[in-house]
Homo-oligomer: A and B are copies of this chain.
Amino acid sequence: MTVKVYGPAYASATRRVLACFVEKGIEFEIVPLDLLKGEQKNPDFLKLQPFGLVPVIEDGDFTLYESRAIIRYYAEKYATQGTDLLGKTLEDRAIVEQWLEVEGQNYHPPLYTLVLQLMYYPKMGLALDHKVLEECEEKLGKVLDIYEERLSKSKYLAGDFFSLADLTHLPFTYYLLTETDKGYMIRDRKHVNGWWDDISNRESWKKVLQL
């Protein structure tokens, strides 16, 4: 069964889902939405996703949103197909979940604000808020210092295996490196930089960027 993915392929949260689908060898079809035209706020779409956010998946008559929930579902549903993204034991999965939460709660919020301001504010004619930018860079830097320590002892965040914990970092970290002048936050940390080179050179991520 081909899974329908609503959301332009370039949207960061959609890319999180697509990277998972490519790793797992899941067939999908993208149903594009024009976010600039606000199609994610159309009544028909709000029936699928009441918050008006992408992505949403339709898999037969099953509908699901929130990218980090979608990748968990498919990693478990197709546990033995493609790349194992949850580890082999309950404890492996728990550590994957721990780092998924670290990403969602600690890493993503300051990174999101940095990328939003540096990437979009100039295009939208908005002034940068330098106080907020400094606070976010400081917060993200502290988180990355902990990542550096972790990755000095462990090849990937959850252990010696690539998992959802790593994959979930791809879309926004990619923006930090390619669309802002803050890439040194990754590049100047030896083990974070090596980890980034590893995970961003996976065939799955290269394919997602071409979609």
Question: Which A residues lie at the B interface, using CB under 8 A?
Answer: 50-51, 62, 64-66, 68-70, 72-73, 76-77, 90-91, 93-95, 97-98, 100-102, 104-106, 109, 143, 146, 149-150
Contact = CB atoms under 8 A, between A and B. Distances in A.
Given A73-B93, A73-B97, A94-B72, A102 B66 contact: yes
Most chain B CB neighbours (cut-off 10 Å) among A64, A65, A97: A97
Most chain B CB neighbours (cut-off 10 Å) among A62, A72, A76: A72
A49 B43 CA distance: 44
A97 B51 contact: no
A98 B66 contact: yes
Contacts of A143: 51
Given A91-B62, A93-B73, A51 B106 contact: yes
